[in-house]
A and B are shown apart, each in its own frame.
Chain A
């Protein structure tokens, strides 16, 4: 039996609505994880650059461990295995949330924070050491020197790699379907199961991911050219 392509069924009516709801969930998960992982990643990077040994070790262990294990395993850990290691307060709080959604966001946040911490660290290294020394000499504390002098300069260089990490996060967010978060990939899979028109469902959802990625990377190229004066070939 020949396969009949039917895009109309997938993009309109009930199934079309599924895809849009899925896209909204994907954007929600990613958006939340982007904000949280930026904060966590910056904190981890600053700990790594502090001169206090135990903090440096803790931060290094954090980045190494979470960068070198698969996101999927981390998602399963938070979903199945976090109950017995987290404090009761956190467990109670999690139980009151949408549990799958919260686990997805936590896993994506922690995983991406490890990458973001590395990007920020290399960005800060690219700022000459004298900047920090000069601001310390002016009487700023380490934290003040970081927040007011080094970080603002570093972020200018960090922004492009940071945004590509955010894009990775968006793409990685497709893995949360495995624990039952109804994101774009989950919905495409669902339509495949309902209608057997997997080809159309996967094409449309791939195009959605692709559109977001391409628009954002175009914007990064413009930023590189305008602000950093890097010529891309």
Chain B
């Protein structure tokens, strides 16, 4: 086995050529994932709220958006933004930016479904009680429904973040400098240790994703104790 290849390139896996060159490796993966989940949360929240609206002309577009994105492979969405931005905008987007946009748009559809499930799983009495105390619909949403619904859905958001972290590996396909790209670069440069390299990379992803999965499990147990229920 050639584990020394892995040891020699370990800092390249973690931060890329930084500080002498561009940031890459695991650091870039984390940046993509964090920016992605931040954007996807707000976009998904908006679309999720449209999806549960009583007005048909708000609900239908949101539904079409969600169904289309959930029925399409992420790789297709990534290609769409990468190859079609030049056609639509007249200029190319840098790889990292176009991937982040693709990740945000794709994940927002899943977040929207989480938001919807969260709001719909709250007992109806919450809405009725809030309205009967004189709050408007918007006030009820922002002060009563959403704080509870979003809090209950924290484990699902964390799980979505895990998926997103794994999905950032697709950025490699259009050439963003992140962990998977670093692995393939080192692999094509050395050619002697593909097994060791890819096991190391898998473990690096695993450490992040497993910690988050475990966190989500703990949170779920904790949150289950404090949920408002219909009983």
> What is A's interface to B at a CB cutoff of 8 Å?
3, 64-65, 67-74, 76-77, 80-85, 167, 171-175, 177-178, 185, 188-189, 192, 198-199, 202, 205-206, 209-210, 213-214, 217, 233
Contacts and interface: CB of A to CB of B under 8 A. Distances in A.
Given A77-B199, A171-B73, A206-B76, A69 B166 contact: yes
B83 A202 contact: yes
B167 interface: yes
8 contacts: A70-B167, A71-B166, A72-B172, A199-B83, A206-B80, A210-B68, A213-B70, A214-B67
Contacts of B129: none
B73 A77 contact: no
A64 B216 CA distance: 14
Interface size class of B (residues with CB under 8 A): 35 or more
A69 B76 CA distance: 21
B228 interface: no
Contacts, number: 118
A48 to B, nearest CB: 16
Interface centre among A80, A83, A178, A213 (most CB of B within 10 A): A80
B183 A73 contact: yes
B187 to A, nearest CB: 6
Interface in B157-190: 162, 166-170, 172-173, 180, 183-184, 187
A107 to B, nearest CB: 11
A74 B201 CA distance: 10
List the 7 closest pairs (A to B, CB-CB), nearest first: A213-B71, A81-B195, A68-B209, A80-B194, A70-B169, A174-B73, A70-B166
A76 B183 contact: yes
B10 interface: no
A202 B73 CA distance: 11
Interface SS of B by simple majority:
helix
B221 to A, nearest CB: 15
B186 to A, nearest CB: 11
Nearest to B203: A69
Contact of A64 (B68, B168, B199, B210): B210
Interface of B: 1, 67-68, 70-76, 79-80, 83-84, 87, 120, 162, 166-170, 172-173, 180, 183-184, 187, 194-199, 201-202, 205-206, 209-210, 213
A210 B83 contact: no
A198 B76 CA distance: 11
B205 A198 contact: no
B84 A198 contact: yes
A178 B173 CA distance: 7
A171 B110 CA distance: 15
B197 A81 contact: yes
A189 B205 CA distance: 28
Contacts of B1: 84
A68 B162 contact: yes
Given A73-B202, A202-B79, A210 B72 contact: yes
Given A67-B209, A206-B76, A209-B73, 15 more contacts: A64-B213, A68-B206, A69-B205, A71-B166, A73-B180, A73-B201, A73-B202, A74-B202, A76-B184, A85-B195, A202-B76, A202-B84, A209-B76, A214-B67, A214-B71
Contacts of B83: 192, 198-199, 202
Contacts of A198: 79, 83-84, 87
B74 A171 contact: yes
Given A68-B162, A70-B169, A214-B71, A185 B87 contact: no
Given A174-B76, A185-B73, A206-B72, A72 B180 contact: yes
A80 B187 contact: yes
A175 B213 contact: no
Given A3-B87, A171-B73, A202-B79, A68 B198 contact: no
B172 to A, nearest CB: 7
Contacts of B210: 64, 68
Nearest to B77: A206
